Amino acid sequence: MKRELGIARCGLACCLCTEKADCNGCGSNGCPDNDFCENKKCSIAKGLAHCYECEENCRKGLLSKIKPYAFSLFAKTYGEEKLLDCLERNEKNGVVYHREGITGDYDDFDDVGQLMNFIFTGVR
């Protein structure tokens, strides 16, 4: 885990991403989606570092997908440090963020509450 990369604006875990080896996270402008990321544009326009800081409960851009939405909701509820702590613990216990391409153990959920519980406990 590259904890220093933290959580992207949309909630995805830059700290666990293996999609692009030379990417230094959302804040570095190195993300492959940087130029057209709806969540980045919106949060910058609102003066926010992350979508989870916003008062709106929107599902724009990547927040339309369960993983970034649940990660953002988790950070909004428990804080980014707790999210990072849980992700780090889960990784040490064998939970994989990217198993096949960009799909991993956090992607096989249909219910936000169940995914948040998995983040919190690391147990299905």
CB contact at 8 A, 58 and 11: no
pLDDT at 17 (0 to 100): 86
Phi and psi torsions of 48, nearest 5°: -110, 145
Q: Is the pLDDT of residue 32 over 80?
A: no
pLDDT band at residue 72 using 50, 70 and 90 as cut-offs: very high
Mean pLDDT of 40-67: 94
Tell me how far apart the alpha carbons of residues 74 and 102 are, in angstroms, rounded to a whole number: 20
Terminal alpha carbon distance of the chain: 21
The tokens 């570095």 sit on which residue? 28
**Which residues in 28-67 are b (16+ Cβ under 10 Å) and which e?**
eeebebeeebebbebbeeeeeebbbebeeeeeebbbeebb
> What is the structure's pLDDT at 3?
92
pLDDT > 80? residue 34: no
Q: Is 121 exposed, middle or buried (0-12, 13-18, 19+ CB in 10 A)?
A: exposed
